[in-house]
Chains A and B, each alone.
Chain A
């Protein structure tokens, strides 16, 4: 089966610009997660979709970040306007299991490396 696909793999933008990251989960996976790793820090949770609904968005840093998953398939994460501290690697993951702990784990995408200059 195809894995989790993220696009673009790299993005360099100027402060104040807008960037949209895309994630295509594994087909049939209801659960889609966004994570972020900033330089030198651990990967941190941003938000969780179950199909098209936001299940948990407690990790979103501020209102400059907007995530959508229209139709419950792919998801986008828009940063507008971007700030220097938004630089990092943004990972997407998907899983099939819903309300029970997943022993099969998550499948992560390769990430989008965002650099704001």
Chain B
């Protein structure tokens, strides 16, 4: 069982609609949680980064929330655009003595249609 679980696996929405992606994690000790957007054929690009003391972080139309007690995070996309079609990956960072170690979720594949 993966230590970072994302849902749904895939999602199709109409342009202009909102959506929320979920991430549950069990990995510890928790350092920070990141949401990445990965376009097809490209590397992941960071959207938001939150430490355990932060509840919410916004980046334009993207808003991430974090509940460190329940170990849950969400990514809300407002007024979706066709260019939002991508894989959205939740990544939890564990800080070890040797540096950061990232644990990735399998991602949610989002498709925005006209």
| Interface residues of A, Cβ cutoff 8 Å to B | 4, 31, 33, 35, 40-45, 48, 50, 55-56, 91, 93, 95, 98-99, 101-106, 108-111
- The yes or no answer to B73 lying at the interface (CB within 8 A) is no
Q: B42 touching A48 by the CB < 8 A rule?
A: no
In the complex, which range does the number of interface residues on chain B fall in?
20 to 34
| Interface residues of B, Cβ cutoff 8 Å to A | 2, 4, 31-32, 34, 41-46, 49, 51, 89, 93, 95-96, 98-107
Residues of B within 8 A of A33 (CB): 102
Given the known A-B contacts A4-B43, A105-B46, A108-B43, are A45 and B101 also in contact in the complex, defined by CB atoms under 8 Å?
yes
Q: What's the dominant secondary structure at chain B's contact region?
A: strand
Select which of B32, B103, B107 is within 8 A of A103 by beta carbon.
B32
